[in-house]
A and B are shown apart, each in its own frame.
Chain A
Amino acid sequence: MLFKMIRGVLYHQRAKMLLIAFTIVLGTSLATGMLNVMWDVGDKVNQELKTYGANITVKPKDASLLTDIYDVGEGEQLSEAYLNEEDLPKLKTIFWAFNIVDFTPFLEADASLPDGTDAKIVGTWFNHHLSLPTGEELDAGIAGMRSWWDVTGGNWLDESEPSAASSVMVGTLLAEEKGWKIGDEITLAGSAKEMTATVAGIYDAGGDEDLEIYAPLDLVQALTDREGKVDRIEVSALTTPDNELAQRAAKNPSALSSRDYETWYCTAYVSAICYQIQEAIPNASAAAVRQVAESEGTILDKTQLLMLLITALSLIGAALGISNLVTASVMERSMEIGLLKAIGARDRSITFVIMVEILVTALIGGVAGYFLGFGFAQLIGQSVFGSAIEMKLKVIPIVAALITLVTLAGSLPAIRMVLRLRPAEVLHGGQ
């Protein structure tokens, strides 16, 4: 009999029940969409930022100490401290080796040109092939880490070609000033030697680099008689956004409790990776390139906060909507409810009937909303991140719990009304 009544009501009040279902569809879809995007977006934003370039620089310990103290600009080193080129592959041996995406060494010098002027020449790897002791094969270098450079003439240096050893790439402003073209032979005089090199590529970096010459590391080492030495290393690593633990650790890892230390060390925080790089490379000081690392965390935090906010608001909205609709539906049926009470139905059974109605409606709305929300997530994924959003299974129970909670909360005023309704007040006659 009770179920017959439920069916009757669902059919009778189908317009109202449809509205309730629709409200739930909206709430669920927004929550599903946002939560899916939120959990997927962490990885997505990280990847986005990764293409932006290096996020860790490694310098010789003494140099970084002195430049820090005397606040001198990058490149102007006070002492003759260097890292060893042979230590570079060790970057791929740290705990988070897998998160190290790319890296490249730099060695800077001033070269005198035949016309009497000086130009800054930077030695680096372009696509340096490494065969690691682990068996991993890897091409590391500036080609991957300056992917936004626009090579306007010629090509990126390809280190696998023998001619690369005596080739250089020139910034567009410098090339213009000197009238250099692809294939031109230029003479470079370093502190130790004079060499000729071929212009193999001209690039537009949109910065100071446009007035510089980029050459293979070996060439600059030979030019200045600094075999096997590098000034600094840039590393691109996938990192987890910093949290409070990471910030404490960044100040002083040894002050952490052993459990915190463990957690920190085994999480890909930028500070943990820096710490591990220092462990691996003797006499090195690794530091996060601050703007990038920070914006990474902040953007992520802000996006996720925004999405949580939208989720919360949409759920509150749904609860209010449900509360209105259910209250109206109960009010409309106050005579029937009063009658049921008068013939001996207990509050409990009446509440049960009404809750079953609403929960059935919520279930239908929730399922529809979930799929709609997943569609939303895809839409956002495609338009904002240009990739599909992965279906996170943990979203299902969370959304189900949230929607149940919202439905119950929304029904509360109506249930209170049912409990308060006195049959004598509605059975007066003269409806």
Chain B
Amino acid sequence: MRLEAAAVEKWFFRGKGDRNRFYAVQKTDLALASGKVTVLTGRSGSGKTTLMHMMAGLLVPDGGQVLLDGKDLYALDDASLSRLRNQTFGMIPQGADVMPELTVLENILLPRGICMRERDSAYAETKENCLRLLEQLEISGLLDVRAKELSGGERRRVCIARALAARPAVVFADEPTSDLDDESTRTALSVLRQAADDGCAVMIVSHDAEATDYADEKRKMDAGHL
């Protein structure tokens, strides 16, 4: 499994007219491979999240392509791309976004809940996986707590569990450790490392120096360039 960004670029307009065109990501290549952890660092506003979203099928690039095993992601129809996001990708968004009205367990099973019934075998498997992850991330006591009652760090870890529970082929982690203490940071990173060792391609955006210790490949982003 190989996910590859080929000369992708993305621009935004800051005001009207072509002069105000602003490149968030400029002709960038990046490849993620199964079993590898790729860590992306860079200053705030350098385009890391933008690049990640393009690779995760969430943001259409203005130039270049994102190829999954050689196939253009954005040439897929909406249904296939949705299925891909649901079953092949796992996303830990920068905002640690959760559904506030659902419990921790429901949040983690949400990607499964969207596309299958509770009696499917994959659903049960995901649930088991989820319990194990919560154990590792030290939040198993919060299983039935509504997500809106969680602290920032707890939410972050719920997002990590949600992304990993269904054993996706690619995991995107946008600053997965930004609001965690040193100890939790290490557990979170080791859980991601573990996923890679189990055959997952992991992409981490992080300012944390510690993240690089878990990396197979380190890249630095600067003003839209790698």
Contact = CB atoms under 8 A, between A and B. Distances in A.
A9 B141 CA distance: 25
Contact of A428 (B78, B79, B94, B162): B94
Contact of B109 (A1, A347, A427, A429): A1
Interface stretch (A152-160, A338-346, A398-406): A338-346
A343 B111 contact: yes
A8 B102 contact: yes
A336 interface: yes
Contacts of B99: 5, 8, 336, 339-340
B93 A346 contact: no
A9 B99 CA distance: 10
A163 interface: no
Contacts of B70: none
B179 to A, nearest CB: 11
A427 B100 CA distance: 15
The interface residues of chain B, by DSSP majority, are classed as: helix
Given A8-B101, A424-B59, A429-B93, A345 B82 contact: yes
Interface string A390-431: 000000000000000000000000000000001110111111
Contact of A343 (B91, B101, B102, B106): B91
Interface in B167-212: 174-175
Interface residues of A, number: 30
Nearest to B116: A1
Nearest to B163: A343
B174 A423 contact: no
B97 interface: yes
A251 interface: no
Q: Which of B56, B83, B85, B96 has the most CB of A within 10 A?
A: B85
B111 A344 contact: yes
A344 B93 contact: no
Interface string B80-123: 00111111000101111111111000100111011100000000
A430 to B, nearest CB: 6
B67 to A, nearest CB: 19
A302 interface: no
B110 A1 contact: yes
A339 B97 contact: yes
Interface in B106-151: 106, 109-111, 113-115
A426 B59 CA distance: 11
Contacts of A342: 56, 58, 85, 91, 93
A426 B58 CA distance: 11
B101 A5 contact: yes
B65 interface: no
B38 interface: no
Contacts of A423: 53, 58
Contact of A427 (B97, B106, B115, B162): B97
A192 to B, nearest CB: 99
Contacts of A339: 93, 97-99
B114 A4 contact: no
B95 A344 contact: no
B175 A12 contact: no
A5 B102 CA distance: 7
B46 interface: no
Given A4-B102, A343-B86, A428 B95 contact: yes
Contact of B174 (A1, A426, A429): A429
A340 B100 CA distance: 12
A339 B53 CA distance: 12
A343 B114 contact: yes
B58 A428 contact: no
Contacts of A431: 95, 97
B49 interface: yes
Contacts of B59: 422, 424
Contact of B49 (A8, A426, A428): A428
A11 B100 CA distance: 12
Contact of B95 (A5, A8, A11, A430): A430
A298 B174 CA distance: 72
A1 B86 CA distance: 15
A77 interface: no
A334 to B, nearest CB: 11
B103 to A, nearest CB: 9
Nearest to B172: A342
Nearest to A345: B114
Give the interface centre of B83, B93, B174 by most chain A CB atoms within 10 Å.
B93
Residue of A339, A343, A345, A426 contacting most chain B CB atoms (<10 Å): A343
Contacts of B114: 1-2, 340, 343-345, 349
Contacts of A430: 94-95
A164 interface: no
Contact of B93 (A2, A5, A349, A427): A427
Nearest to A347: B78
A312 interface: no
A310 interface: no
Contact of B106 (A1, A335, A338): A1
Contacts of A1: 106, 109-110, 113-114
A427 B85 contact: no
A15 to B, nearest CB: 15
Given A343-B91, A346-B79, A346-B82, A427 B53 contact: yes
Given A342-B85, A343-B85, A424-B58, A335 B95 contact: yes
B180 to A, nearest CB: 15
A333 B4 CA distance: 33
What are the nearest 3 A-B pairs in CB distance? A344-B86, A1-B113, A429-B94
26 contacts: A1-B106, A1-B110, A4-B106, A5-B99, A5-B102, A8-B101, A8-B102, A9-B101, A12-B100, A12-B101, A335-B97, A339-B99, A342-B93, A343-B110, A343-B114, A344-B83, A344-B84, A344-B111, A344-B114, A422-B58, A423-B58, A424-B58, A427-B93, A427-B95, A429-B49, A429-B94
